[in-house]
Amino acid sequence: MASPTHILSIPFDIKVQHWELQFIRAAVANDVLSKKPLFEAAGLATDYFHNHDEADDRDGRTVNRYPLIQYTEKNDYLCLLAVGPAVDALLFYLKHMPGRLQFRNRIVAMLPVLSYARFQHYTAEILEKPAKYQLRQWIGLQEHRHAIWKQTPRMEDRVQLLNEALLGSVKRMLTEGLNQSLDPAAECYLHDIFQADHTTYKKRQWRCFTLEFYSNLLLPAELGLGKGCSIGYGKLLAPASLIKAVPAFPDANARTGVL
């Protein structure tokens, strides 16, 4: 069995809307890059915060990998998630982040609510009974699958396409992000689609789904699947009974921004 992968979630006392997450990510990334010597002195990478090639002087091209720091919202408040090696980078940033952050036309106080910060110690495993999960705003159809979708009139064939895409998204999260292997017995199958519409991501239109699915895999809560998961797309919601989370800062006051 693989060693557990650590997942840290830290909520902030900052109300946000989904469309603002991309601008928060850019603002945090710029602030982190301004502190790069501090991170390097601590032996920590800064590219976890933005997934761009910092060695590329031309345009900072995007690195195609599962994002180990994700910007999402939880109950309409900002939440940052860090996975594996990025956990130490996020904890380090908490000690060096500015008191205020500007993005778009907003200036917000950077107040982490440490009493609600949580650690998950995750190991992939097959469940005795399949569990029901939710995915919110999942951009799961890659270009080739999206083309097939548009040419597929039968609903049962579209469902099969979504099942394959779901399993592919889960596999990428497990293997690239969580350093876990995908059990050959793993299954994902669609239960219900609540919403299917289009969204704009990186100046392109993508089909976006909010849905329920069953899987015989234990999956981590709140991480993202599919395109755009670094900025809140494809947020995975797990049954409360399966979430193995513990307080990250057990001595924190009820609401505090102080480490």
All residues at 6 or more sequence positions from 185 whose CB lies less than 8 Å from its CB, including other chains: 126, 216
Question: Of all residues in the chain, what percent carry a pLDDT higher than 70?
Answer: 92
d(CA 19, CA 207): 16
Nearest to 93 by CA among 30, 177, 17: 30
Encoded tokens for 189: 């199958």
d(CA 147, CA 13): 41
Whether pLDDT at 188 is above 60: yes
In this predicted model, what pLDDT tens digit does every residue of 52-79 receive, in sequence order? 655 554 455 566 789 999 999 999 999 9
Region 126-137: mean pLDDT is: 96
What pLDDT shows up at residue 2? 75
Least confident of 59-63, 84-88, 121-125: 59-63
What is the residue-averaged pLDDT of the chain? Answer: 90
Domain ranges of the chain: 5-120, 125-242
In this predicted model, what pLDDT tens digit does every residue of 191-250 receive, in sequence order? 999 988 889 888 888 889 999 999 999 999 999 999 999 999 999 999 988 888 899 888
Nearest to 84 by CA among 11, 3, 160, 158: 3
Q: What pTM did the predictor assign?
A: 0.91
- What's the CATH code, domain 5-120? 3.30.70
Nearest to 99 by CA among 31, 33, 17: 31
Task: Please state the separation of Cα 65 from the chain's center in Å.
Answer: 12
| Contact (Cβ atoms closer than 8 angstroms) between residue 39 and residue 46 | yes
Question: Of all residues in the chain, what percent carry a pLDDT higher than 90?
Answer: 71
What pLDDT shows up at residue 241? 86
| Contact (Cβ atoms closer than 8 angstroms) between residue 249 and residue 115 | yes
Given pLDDT bands bounded at 50, 70 and 90, which one contains residue 259?
very low
If phi over 0 gives left and psi between -120 and 50 gives alpha, with beta otherwise, what is residue 252? beta
All residues at 6 or more sequence positions from 246 whose CB lies less than 8 Å from its CB, including other chains: 118, 119, 121
What pLDDT shows up at residue 158? 86
- What's the CATH code, domain 125-242? 3.30.70
What pLDDT shows up at residue 57? 45
Structure letter (DSSP) for residue 52: B
d(CA 37, CA 43): 10
What pLDDT shows up at residue 150? 79
Whether 5-120 shares its CATH topology with 125-242 is answered yes
